[in-house]
Amino acid sequence: MKIEQTSFNRYVKENVFETIKTYHLINPNDRIMIGVSGGKDSILTLHMLNKYKTENKVNFDIEAVCIDEGIKGYREEGIKTAKDNCKRLDIPLTVYSFKDEWHYDLDDISDIYKSTCMPCGVYRRYLLNKISSEHDCDKIATGHNMDDEIQSFLMTFARNDQNKFPKFSPILDKIHENMVPRIKPLWRLPEKDVGIWCVVNNIPIHNEECPYSVTSLRSEVKLLLNKIEEKEKGTKRNIFNSFEKTFKIKQENIKLNNCENCGQPTARSPCKACEITEEIKSKL
Ligand code: SF4
């Protein structure tokens, strides 16, 4: 077990470090904000970036942010896990809630839209960008793994949303002065390996499913892909490799403006966060 654990850890570390190096995700003196939910993906990202900093002696700073959406009976445990891991690694953590920003919880608005994940995703992205920008961070690191990327890409097809194709990348460039670039160190790591790493290393994670996840298209796509993978091993990796070879769309072609309400970067003004906030206020 000891040898297996050692070789498995080496595989995970090499996979993540190679992605960081190949795609130049981190430069010396960067200040990186890690979005930590307490789930396995963000916790592995936290540990791997900390390892990368200490083992490679690259001089960069790490801090973490945990967004509290306001999901009663669910999010509390994730925040606790995020705090425990950050404390263990001595990484400063900021917890910021939807309520702090908009004065209501996700629970309060959960039945306004067909999928609760829609306003949740819009608000989370908004806050991640806002907070990392306020903290003068150069990049936001997220825990997106290989499975997440495949699901996202297939969802852009399902929605005929080709504008999102350039997001299929381990690094999203700075395409607007107020947009903090995103990096995805787990981009090439399958989801099941993320889970195994946490178990074999006895790392505390929040392992529950969000009660709203069943309302999303993503959960349907995930189920379907897992079903196909069970029958045809290697399907996910093949899809990922095909996407990687086929879609290299330049991010500089994306043009962003400032939202006329909040000033945040957006393709069209008002931004999606301001647009749904107006809708929500009229319905509450
Ligand atoms: Fe938000 Fe949906 Fe994720 Fe739950 S599953 S945290 S509602 S995006």
Q: What is the DSSP string of 86-149?
A: HHHHT--EEEEEHHHHHSS-TGGGTTTSS-THHHHHHHHHHHHHHHHHHTT-SEEE----HHHH
Q: Cα–Cα distance between 30 and 26 in angstroms, integer?
A: 7
C-alpha 58 to ligand 1 mean position (Å): 34
Q: Which of 63-67, 164-168, 263-267 has the highest mean pLDDT?
A: 63-67
Strand 171-172 to 93-97 pairing: unpaired
What confidence tens digit (pLDDT) does each residue in 89-109 have?
A: 999 999 999 999 999 999 999
pLDDT band at 161 (very low <50, low <70, confident <90, very high): confident
Domains of the chain: 2-283 (3.40.50.620)
In whole angstroms, what is the distance from residue 64 CA to residue 135 CA?
Answer: 11
Is 116 near ligand 1, meaning CB less than 6 Å away? Answer: yes
**216 Cβ closer than 6 Å to some ligand 1 atom:** yes
pLDDT single digits (tens) 200-211 = 999 999 999 999
Give the confidence band of 250 by pLDDT, cuts at 50, 70, 90. Answer: low
Q: Is 3 a residue whose pLDDT tops 80?
A: no
Average pLDDT, the chain: 92
pTM (2 decimals)?
A: 0.91
Long-range own/partner contacts, residues 129-132 (CB < 8 A, 24 or more apart): 129/178, 129/179, 129/180, 129/264, 129/265, 130/264, 131/33, 131/65, 131/94, 131/96, 132/33, 132/65, 132/180
- Greater confidence, 48 or 163? 48
Task: Quote the pLDDT of residue 112.
Answer: 95
Share of the chain above pLDDT 70, in %: 94
For ligand 1, is residue 212 a contact (CB within 6 Å)? yes
The per-residue pLDDT for 163 is 67
